[in-house]
Amino acid sequence: NPEPKSQDALHGRSAMLRCEVSDAEGVSYSWLQNGDAVNDTERRFREGGNLKFTAVDRVLDAGTFQCLATNNATGEEERSTEASFNIKWLESGGVTLKDPASEQDIESSAPVTFRCNIDGHPRPTCHWYRDGVRLPEKSHQINNKERTLTLPSASPDNNGLYYCCAKNPAGHVCSNANFTLNIIDKSFPRPVVVPEDLVVMRNEEALLNCLFTAEPPPTQEWYHQDELVTNKSRLVMLNNGSLLITQVKPRNTGLYKCVAKGPRGLPVTLEATVNLAEIEEMGPSQSRVFSANSLERVSCRPPRGHPEPDVWWEWGGERVPSEGRVYQDGLELVFSPTQGEDSGLYTCVGQNKAGTRRQELTVTVANGSELPEHVVQTGGVLHFAKVTRDDAGNYTCLASNSPQGQITAAVQLTVAVYITFNMEPEHTTVYQGHTAILHCQATGDPQPFIQWKKKDKFLEPRKSRFQKMPNGSLVIHDVSVEDTGSFTCIAGNSCNIGHTSAELYVVEKPVHHSLEEDEKAPYKMIQTIGLSVGAAVAYIIIVLGLMFYCKKRRNAKRLKGPEGEEAETEHLNGGTVQTNGQATAEIQEEVALTNMGTTASSANNKRHSSHDKGPYPRANLTTITTLGKGEFGEVFLAKAKGIMSAGGRGSEDEEETVVLVKSLQTRDETLQLEFRREIEMFGKLGHPNLVRLLGMCREAEPHYLILEYAELGDLKQYLKMSKNKEEKPKSHHLSTKQKVGVCLQVARGMEHLSNQRFVHKDLATRNCLISAKRQVKVSALGLSKDVYNDEYYHYRQAWIPLRWLPSEAVFEDDYSTKTDVWSFGVLMWEVFSLGELPHAALDHDKVLEELREGRGKLPLPQGCPSRVYKLMTRCWASSPKDRACFNDIVSALSELPSESKV
């Protein structure tokens, strides 16, 4: 007592049959199933007198169970009444064809019956679905007892994916194998030949094959970019339904649709694309210096092209093998290990139907040889009497003494040749609709990379009318009046950049006049010449007048201003500024536009002017450590004596201040102007959340820009330390309020910067500093060459912070305050993700592709309030005019709870 009782059980679930006797002392229990002894298993075992089931099985646990109690002392046995399980179960099955016997026997307008092979106990109720939509029992022949679905007169309208679902007390399942009904109506168009995607050369023939069958035969049409194609001179629809394009032009590329229409059913559409074969130029030549007996890998970045180019490495005119000591692994050239004989010229080759592109790599394996005769070492300084190509390589300086041992420092010497133009473009006049050619060839070492620019925008090589030839010349097909203007050929390598310009004039083709008009021509010619000469004379007079006026104003300004202000006209290399060609003039104009509006507030900000800082003695700077390298040159920390004093000249007994020093070690005109722009920007701005310009050293090269520094370094490293919970001190954890406080400080600094009409261009946490008092200041460390090299991308001969820029800045070189707003949104994301790299899962090329397609937004950081993320998304609006301004950002952040003490 109690005895086991029959009960309901679910297949796969636990259950228990109970058994006890009134006097349990000296009694043992056993169980019988259908009269046979039950052995203990992991699934079914005795627990005291009870029989426990961890998972009831509808087959193994079928039948009757009895409990057998045995008195161990007397041997007396007692059996319980029989008990059994009413096991409820549900098992999935597939949908099968019941009638007709096979799919081949299915005919249009004949009945078709499907069977649902889901089974269970008790009998499950069944429901039928077609293409995910439940079929109602009222309008369909559904037999729940047989679990069948009958289509009395099946037709193509009934085509689709059929499946069933069933349920009972054991649960709910759907069929594990479904049935696709595909009844072919002969009046429906059926494809016989499917068009294929084509990639062809310009002016090559393209044939798109397409054929349908039906009874009666269907009508067939072609569409290009959703416009109906009709027979033209170069587009011909053949009798067999194919489309022939005799000479493929850029306007013939795109999506083509072959559409067939029959007397019944929907039109059937087949698609194919036609594209012109193309391949981009590869990057400029590179050089690498390796140590001997080391494992080295060099990656080749494949050129974009259509179709996808094949890429391989060559050495000595032969392909590098896929195995051996020097071998190719995917896109990488592997030296395993390097040897002296590996020095030489390697070429990465990209090739497709459009042509072949090459990028050269000069490899030098350092062998530790002695210095040549023309190189002299004097007091730790290496003097080259006359640099030769063989001097390129790695040089190691070794210093030692007996107490401390030795230290070494390595430096790489790259020997380059300045760019010279051996063919410059000439002013050209061409008739509208004709082809224009502007020649441009340059030499240098490494081999220069040539780009063309029209007015202030670089020409995209993908634009089919503009074609850059392998020798650098520019071919413009089908010229129009809009093409009139100045074209600049820019050649650059790692040594320098050169440019030369020419004018292109597009005129309408003259028409033949009547004899009467020809008689008037001489008079018209005289009239035209007279007007031209008169206009030229007037222009010269105006120019001379302006020159005289400007000279007079400049002289008056010199007499009026202090002596120190003349330094403003100095060139950063010590000479006067010279506008060397149109490109330089455009760059200067761009700088002027960036700084527009600062003159109006110069009276209020005069005490912050960069020229008031005056020169600072270079000898009073003591280098502490090098932070890294940027595009201008080295960036290092130094101690500056007396730089915070009123005079700022420095002296021996005055206090030392830790400062940030940026050096100008490049002769690139664009970078020199950018360096000058930073001097102007930080020199004229005065705000608690912007670093100050403390001084300049321009009496010798390299020039130094001395900026304020903060004790805790850059904000990115501070955020990363906050993320490392094991190493951070307890007080270093950042709350949400403190993160908002950081963003608010940066926003206030940028609000002031934008109100003065300046554009930062590289706003990120790596370019912000944080002090011991947790004050955040916007700076411009620009460590793009080593420390933060992975956060910059080499695009169009410039290193840009791709992951922090909107599309207009990347693709159109259009920088504005709204560019900085986008970057500020990314900075906020960095703060709330504690220094994570934006789009960390994507490589640079994928980020570039996402920007092209307008998908540059970042996901919601963990723990970021929704109001803050909404503000971020406002900063990332695709149109600059839809982005918030810094005044709005400061107001929005000020309304949120924040802590200024981070």
DSSP string, 100-113: SSSGGG--TTS-EE
Is 467 found in the same domain as 422?
yes
Of 342, 445, 483, 762, which one is the catalytic site residue?
762
**In sequence order, what DSSP letters do the residues of 330-371 get, joined into one string?**
TTEEEESS--GGG-EEEEEEEEETTEEEEEEEEEEEE--PPP
Residues of the chain with pLDDT under 50: 512-519, 558-612, 646, 725-731, 900-902
Residue where a domain stops, chosen among 681, 708, 735: 708
**99 known ligand binder:** no
Task: Give domain status of residue 558, yes or no.
Answer: no
662 belongs to an annotated ligand binding site: yes
766 annotated ligand binder: yes
Q: 417: which 2 tokens?
A: 């040749």
- Give the N- to C-terminal CA distance of the chain in Å, as an integer: 73
pLDDT at 158: 87
User: In the numeric block, which tokens belong to residue 760?
Assistant: 């930062």
Residues 632 and 609 in one domain: yes
Q: Are residues 883 and 821 in the same domain?
A: yes
CA of 526: how far to CAs of 41, 91, 510, 567, 651, in Å?
Answer: 118, 102, 19, 52, 75
Residues 156 and 271 in one domain: no
Tell me: do 876 and 789 sit in the same domain: yes
Q: What share of the chain is helix, strand, coil (3-state, %, to 5)?
A: 25, 35, 40
635 is in an annotated binding site: yes
Structure tokens that stand for 882 in this block: 């839809």
Residue 284: the pLDDT is 86
pTM above 0.75, yes or no: no
698 in any annotated domain: yes
Q: Are the CB atoms for 475 and 437 separated by under 8 Å?
A: yes
Please identify which residue in the block is written with the tokens 């840009």.
800
Report the C-alpha gap between 902 and 899 in whole angstroms: 7
- State yes or no: 171 annotated in a binding site: no
77: in domain: yes
- Strand, coil or helix: 190: strand
Residues 722 and 866 in one domain: yes
Q: Is residue 574 part of a domain?
A: no
- 586 marked among binding-site residues: no
Among 89, 124, 148, the domain-final residue is 89
Q: Are residues 719 and 664 in the same domain?
A: no
Q: DSSP 3-state assignment of 394?
A: strand
Number of domains comprising the chain:
6
> Do 672 and 736 fall into the same domain?
no
With tokens 């097909």, the residue in question is 477
Is 767 marked as binding a ligand? yes
Task: Give yes or no: residues 11 and 160 share one domain.
Answer: no
Do both 696 and 608 map to the same domain?
yes
**Residue 433, domain member (yes or no):** yes
Residues 787 and 650 in one domain: no
Reference 115, options 142, 154, 85, 87; nearest CA is: 142
The CATH number given to whatever domain includes residue 458 is 2.60.40.10
Rg of the chain over all Cα atoms, to the nearest angstrom: 41
CA within 13 Å, CB half, 217: 7
In single-letter form, the type of residue at position 446 comes to P
Look up the CATH number of the domain holding residue 890: 1.10.510.10
Beta carbons of 301 and 361 less than 8 angstroms apart = no
pLDDT at 207: 94
Answer yes or no: 762 catalytic.
yes
Query: In terms of DSSP bridges, do strands 457-458 and 449-454 run parallel, antiparallel, or are they unpaired?
Result: antiparallel
Of 360, 315, 324, the residue nearest 342 (C-alpha): 315
pLDDT at site 524: 60
The boundaries of the domain holding residue 663 are: 598-708
714 marked ligand binding residue: yes
Q: Residue 286 falls within a domain, yes or no?
A: no
- Name residue 65's beta-bridge partners: 33, 83
Instruction: Report pLDDT for 266.
Output: 82
Q: Is 651 helix (H, G, I), strand (E, B) or coil?
A: coil
Q: How far apart are CA 623 and CA 658, in angstroms?
A: 10
As given in the structure block, the two tokens for residue 307 are: 């179709």
Does the annotation list 629 as a binding residue?
yes
667, 691, 708 — which closes off a domain?
708
Domain membership flag for residue 271: yes
Residues 729 and 849 in one domain: yes
